[in-house]
């Protein structure tokens, strides 16, 4: 990994003691506000305190729009020495720190494959400049949290782009990760914890591993951006237009809020005001992280449109400043660690027109003060896995044939299968005896180790075959094939310990499974926003409208 002497010195600095800061900026209220997701009640669930290593390669902005916009801008035309200087600005970390692997998708007929980039933002404050912009000096040197995470999916034919945001307080199981610096092994989380804790388990590569475990989506790259880069980048492009439907001042009586102050209408924000927009939670809609994600989506869409339309980027000085700020702000995986690689990536991304960009938030439901993925979230993940555009403009296409698993299936009579009943629906109770019936079918077809679990699961809309690790994928595929269950319903899951067939609500009776017609629509609960929608406007909470 690339590290300068100054950065090594930064890593050795101890966390300074200091008085509490009463005026906590928005986004840092999770440190002392028990009433919001990520507050003190979460500290016992994942061990986020202590053990942090302040380092520049970890620092990143808690929002994600700029990271993609930087890539879209691209850099070119520098002389060799300047080119090497820019390369030296870029920080890198390993892509995946987990043991689990998700195979790359099958190429389409033209030999093209999709591109998946995880954009990560952290609340780390590990430099004086970033601390000054982010505030809260008591967080200096603490374990970073991945408070914003967005998956950017570019289709195989580069015709469309889909973005999926995950709320920071989503409950997930973080896999075992090994720190690339000191070899420390962070064990898998004991149960579900907040997804933002993954960054503290060795770095961004553990956040990548967590996403892959949850979604089954192969991730090609990750990108992070720091606070100082945000301020300078927004200035470099001349400001990013954003809209509020009423006057707003993001500040309450206790001092919570980003400080954003705008009059009703559209404004080109830049500098610290752009940072405030991206960090604002108090004042937007219901004051949740979901509202903040929506504001970030609007900013990102607007930034992309601005970069495409902004003639000032043809000015060499403007472009050089943009290149300098972009490379200094980035932390990436080794696959993106040079200007040339970033430029090549930008060339790929520039093919997508704004009207084919779709921003979404992972569908979720509250579990106390936290959230968890819903069935609609799995639908969204499936569309991404199968490279189906979220804007609904793809012609109906036959999914690519699944690749062969790395480990072939064992003989049928050696495969242990647990069959569970998930036929309950919102309107109907579980269909009696379904686990026994389907287990009997498997035994008749040679899977003599199939057994029925007498317990009844919560509703499962579709019949699924789940497996916990790559070495059992072939076994799971073999079970599904014997019953006519499509390959798209075979899923890796950390919720099972072996091959598990869940009989869903689509198979409440009979002995012949008929797969329902695939629904390729983006769930309404994903709150999709089109990249060309310049009319989007954030709704202001009247309590924050002066």
Report CA dihedral (203, 206, 210, 211) to the nearest 10 degrees: 70
d(CA 31, CA 335): 34
Beta bridge partners of 248: 262
Taken in order of first residue, the domains within the chain and their CATH numbers are: 5-391 (3.40.630.190), 412-507 (3.30.70.2390)
DSSP strands (E only) in 65-124? 91-92, 115-121
Three-state SS at 374: coil
Residue 225: which H helix or E strand, with range? Answer: strand 221-225
pLDDT band at 124 (very low <50, low <70, confident <90, very high): low
pLDDT above 70 for 485: yes
**Which of 488, 490, 495, 487 lies closest to 457 in space, CA to CA?**
495
- The DSSP 8-state label assigned to residue 306 in this structure reads H
pLDDT tens profile 422-472: 999 878 999 999 999 999 999 999 999 999 999 988 878 889 999 998 899
pLDDT band at 309 (very low <50, low <70, confident <90, very high): confident
Q: What is the mean pLDDT of the chain?
A: 80
Phi, psi of 91 (to 5 degrees): -95, 155
Report CA dihedral (22, 25, 31, 34) to the nearest 10 degrees: 80
Q: pTM for the whole thing?
A: 0.70
pLDDT above 50 for 19: no
Q: How confident is the model at residue 136, as a pLDDT?
A: 44
pLDDT band at 77 (very low <50, low <70, confident <90, very high): very low
The token pair at 261 is: 């102050």
Sign of CA dihedral 13, 15, 18, 23: positive
Angle between helices 65-73 and 227-236 (to 10 degrees): 50
- CB burial class (10 A; 0-12, 13-18, 19+) of residue 120? buried
pLDDT tens profile 390-404: 999 886 555 555 667
Q: How confident is the model at residue 31, as a pLDDT?
A: 35
Q: Are strands 364-367 and 370-373 parallel, antiparallel or unpaired?
A: antiparallel
- CB burial class (10 A; 0-12, 13-18, 19+) of residue 16? exposed
Average pLDDT over residues 290-309: 86
pLDDT tens profile 171-210: 999 999 999 999 999 999 999 999 999 999 999 999 999 9
């Amino acid at each position: 990994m690339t590290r300068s002497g100054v950065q090594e010195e930064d890593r050795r600095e101890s966390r300074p003691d200091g008085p509490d800061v009463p005026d906590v900026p928005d986004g840092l209220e999770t440190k002392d506000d028990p009433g919001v997701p990520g507050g003190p009640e979460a500290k016992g669930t994942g061990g986020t305190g202590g053990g942090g290593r302040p380092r520049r390669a970890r620092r990143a902005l808690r929002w994600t729009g700029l990271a993609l916009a930087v890539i879209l801008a691209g850099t070119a035309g520098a002389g060799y020495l300047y080119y090497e200087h820019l390369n030296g600005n870029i920080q890198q970390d390993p892509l995946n720190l987990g043991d689990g692997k998700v195979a790359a998708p099958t190429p389409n007929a033209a030999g093209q494959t999709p591109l998946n980039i995880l954009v990560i933002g952290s609340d780390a404050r590990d430099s004086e400049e970033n601390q000054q912009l982010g505030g809260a000096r008591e967080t200096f040197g603490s374990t970073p949290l991945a408070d914003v995470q967005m998956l950017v999916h570019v289709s195989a034919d580069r015709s469309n782009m889909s973005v999926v945001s995950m709320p920071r307080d989503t409950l997930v199981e973080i896999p075992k990760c090994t720190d690339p610096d000191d070899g420390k092994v962070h064990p898998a989380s004991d149960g579900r914890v907040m997804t933002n804790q993954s960054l503290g388990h060795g770095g961004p590569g553990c956040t990548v591993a967590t996403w892959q475990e949850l979604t089954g989506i192969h991730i090609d790259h990750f990108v992070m951006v720091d606070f100082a880069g945000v301020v300078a980048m927004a200035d470099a492009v001349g400001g990013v237009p954003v809209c509020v439907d009423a006057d707003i001042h993001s500040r309450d009586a206790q001092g919570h809020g980003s400080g954003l102050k705008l009059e009703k209408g559209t404004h080109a924000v830049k500098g610290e005001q752009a940072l405030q927009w991206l960090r604002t939670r108090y004042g937007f809609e219901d004051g949740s992280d979901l509202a903040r994600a929506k504001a970030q989506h609007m900013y990102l869409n607007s930034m992309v449109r601005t970069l495409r339309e902004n003639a000032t980027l043809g000015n060499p000085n403007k472009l050089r400043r943009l290149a300098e700020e972009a490379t200094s702000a980035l932390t990436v995986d080794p696959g993106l660690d040079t200007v040339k690689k970033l430029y090549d990536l930008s060339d790929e991304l520039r093919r997508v027109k704004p009207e084919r960009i779709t921003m979404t938030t992972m569908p979720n439901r509250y579990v106390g003060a936290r959230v968890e993925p819903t069935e609609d979230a799995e639908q969204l993940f499936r569309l991404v896995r199968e490279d189906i555009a979220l804007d609904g403009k793809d012609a109906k296409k036959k999914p690519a044939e699944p690749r062969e698993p790395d480990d072939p299936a064992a003989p049928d009579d050696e495969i242990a299968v647990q069959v569970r009943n998930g036929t309950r629906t919102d309107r109907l109770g579980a269909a009696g005896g379904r686990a026994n019936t389907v287990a009997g079918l498997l035994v008749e077809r040679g899977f003599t180790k199939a057994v029925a679990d007498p317990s009844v699961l919560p509703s499962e809309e579709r019949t699924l075959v789940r497996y916990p690790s790559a070495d059992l994928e072939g076994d799971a595929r073999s079970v599904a094939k014997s019953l006519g269950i499509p390959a798209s319903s075979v899923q890796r899951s950390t919720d099972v310990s072996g091959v598990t067939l869940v009989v869903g609500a689509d198979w409440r009776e009979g002995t012949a499974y008929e797969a329902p017609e695939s629904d390729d629509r983006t769930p309404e609960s994903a709150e999709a926003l089109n990249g060309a929608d310049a009319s989007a406007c954030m709704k202001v909470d009247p309590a924050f409208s002066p």
